[in-house]
Structure 1
Amino acid sequence: MDIMSTYHLETPMDPKASYEVAIAENPANRVVSTPGRQKRAAGKHTHFWAPGRTLRIAFLNGDEAFKNAVKTAASNWQPHINLNLDFVEGTEGDIRIKCEQGIYWSFLGTAALTQTDQSLPTMILATDYRYSLKFFLANAMHEFGHALGAQHEQLNPAANIPWNKPAVYAAHWLPENADEDSYQDSLTRKKVDDLYFNLLDANEVKNSPYDPLSIMHYAVRQEWTDGDFKVDLNFVLSEKDKAFMTQVYPYPEAQSE
């Protein structure tokens, strides 16, 4: 199955609306230009929720086994964030989850608020819980990481993966001699680049040191790299995952008496 249609990070249709809801939710999402750098576009921002708030999480479908598996995945993040993940009855929520065969995706943090139609999902999780709970939980934790505002770890500004780009293109059914003037070929190549090669700007995201153990890291096959480098699928939150979320969603410092 094509990883680009199976796993992806949903992009809001309206970047301006995404910026406005992010800043209204958490003013700290505003990116401030660093002295000496060119002024950034107004739409550049992070997507973190306001610490201390309750996130209402609703299910649009799915049986009890699916819902329980999702709650188990989310519970791994809960101890490391100053947010209350509240699974609510009904279909209205800040995060709305749909079960659909073969697909994992999520909006990035506050971008979920741009999906104002309460009948539409802000996260889709596959039916793998029926076959491999361990695999499902890993992917669900990954998508919840996105829902909390975390980006893909292979795009960490500090990542230095020795990619064999032709091998990665070939693995995604893109011929090595693809015509970059062709819309379809260039679109596919851009998708691969955005998934693996186009690192995030360190001045526009919050990030911890590069962490190949992160739940937010895609698996990287040995044949996709030069030399002896690979990343297996991670099944648990890493210590850096936990520390990053604790930093992003801190609890108030205790008031001294």
Structure 2
Amino acid sequence: MTNVPCCLIEKPLDLQAAYETAIAENPANRLTSVPGRKKRAVARHTYFWAPGRTLRIAFLNGDQSFKDAVKAAANNWLPHINLKFEFVEGEEGDIRIKSEPGVYWSHIGTSALTETDQSLPTMLLSPDHQLSLKFFNANTMHEFGHVLGAEHEHLHPESNIPWNRQAVYAAHGVPEGADEDNYTRRIVDARYFNLLDPSEVVHSPYDPKSIMHYPVRQDWTEGDFEIYLNLVLSEKDKAFMAEVYPSSTTD
């Protein structure tokens, strides 16, 4: 299995400001559920962009080959969403991307707007396109899934991964016998084990093929269970985003 840098999610520091920003962007973000409609993937309602919106995307650094690779990967989402991506010159954008080796990181959806300092990134991408374009594309599509409002699929409320917690703890340097107050254990628990609250997310059945799913190493699970790095958008990824960002908001 490919060893994948863990994607990090930047949570808003001011949740009230993030909520107000999301409502101003898209009043439908007030909803916590939509009766009679089935959606999938794990994504917080309060962070979706307004359908039909153009997202201005700026690069804070990176050479042209990096920028071209990001654009090509991100554009895989476009046939399935009623949004446009406008890659702009300069540092002012709704989304600001910085190239930083070994790091994949993003704000969730409209929370990017709460970072008002235009010199700071709302996404970090490792310039791995020169090493493995498939790997880079998968991770870039994953981060743009966060941009669109999706959470991690392996934290889906119905996720049934048979984790061997002690093996995961050992691999991440959690001291043996560490309790729940141990800082390193808290980080690992949040990254792999703390499933999302079903009252805060909209979801249909768990999708192990989602681009938003972490790869799962067999030696980190009980029994014969493994998930490789998903390299393409799943059919359920496409269907979910098509419903979140419909071509017509009057349906």
> Structures share a fold, TM > 0.5?
yes
| Alignment match, 1:246 | 242
Task: Identify if the C-alpha distance between structure 1 residues 66 and 94 changes in structure 2 by more than 3 Å, giving closer, same or farther.
Answer: same
SS in 2 for 1:56: strand
| Alignment match, 2:221 | 225
Mapped contact 2:109–2:149 kept (Cα < 8 A): yes
Structure 2 counterpart of 1:107, one-letter code: H
Mapped contact 1:169–1:189 kept (Cα < 8 A): yes
2-side partners of 1:231 and 1:5: how far apart?
A: 15
1:1-257 to structure 2, matched below 5 A, reads 7-32=7-32, 46-181=46-181, 186-252=182-248
2-side partners of 1:178 and 1:205: how far apart?
A: 30
2-side partners of 1:253 and 1:102: how far apart?
A: 39
| Alignment match, 1:39 | none
SS in 1 for 2:46: coil
Q: 5+ unaligned residues in a row in structure 2: which ranges?
A: 35-43
SS in 2 for 1:75: helix
Structure 1 counterpart of 2:188, one-letter code: V
Mapped contact 2:97–2:122 kept (Cα < 8 A): yes
Task: Identify if the C-alpha distance between structure 1 residues 33 and 147 changes in structure 2 by more than 3 Å, giving closer, same or farther.
Answer: closer
Deviations 1:44-87 (A, max 9, x none): 85311011111001111111100000001111101000001111
Mapped contact 1:59–1:96 kept (Cα < 8 A): yes
Mapped contact 2:109–2:147 kept (Cα < 8 A): yes
Deviation at 1:91, TM superposition (A): 1.2
Task: Indicate the structure whose relative CO is greater, using CA pairs within 8 Å and at least 6 residues apart.
Answer: 2
Deviation at 1:5, TM superposition (A): 8.1
* Runs of 4+ in structure 1 over 2 Å off: 3-7, 31-34, 178-181
Task: Identify if the C-alpha distance between structure 1 residues 82 and 144 changes in structure 2 by more than 3 Å, giving closer, same or farther.
Answer: same
Task: Identify if the C-alpha distance between structure 1 residues 84 and 204 changes in structure 2 by more than 3 Å, giving closer, same or farther.
Answer: same
Structure 2 counterpart of 1:223, one-letter code: D
SS in 2 for 1:77: helix
Q: 5+ unaligned residues in a row in structure 1: which ranges?
A: 35-43
Task: Identify if the C-alpha distance between structure 1 residues 132 and 33 changes in structure 2 by more than 3 Å, giving closer, same or farther.
Answer: closer
Deviation at 1:4, TM superposition (A): 11
Mapped contact 1:6–1:102 kept (Cα < 8 A): no
Task: Identify if the C-alpha distance between structure 1 residues 47 and 252 changes in structure 2 by more than 3 Å, giving closer, same or farther.
Answer: same
Deviation at 1:191, TM superposition (A): 1.3
Deviation at 1:31, TM superposition (A): 4.2
Mapped contact 1:207–1:244 kept (Cα < 8 A): no
1-side partners of 2:150 and 2:249: how far apart?
A: 24
Structure 2 counterpart of 1:163, one-letter code: W
2-side partners of 1:74 and 1:174: how far apart?
A: 35
Deviations 1:83-110 (A, max 9, x none): 0111112111000001011111000000
Mapped contact 1:159–1:210 kept (Cα < 8 A): yes
Mapped contact 2:138–2:232 kept (Cα < 8 A): yes
2-side partners of 1:5 and 1:230: how far apart?
A: 17
Task: Identify if the C-alpha distance between structure 1 residues 212 and 32 changes in structure 2 by more than 3 Å, giving closer, same or farther.
Answer: closer
Task: Identify if the C-alpha distance between structure 1 residues 226 and 81 changes in structure 2 by more than 3 Å, giving closer, same or farther.
Answer: same
RMSD: 2.1
TM-score with structure 2 setting the length: 0.90
Count of residue pairs brought into register by the alignment: 240
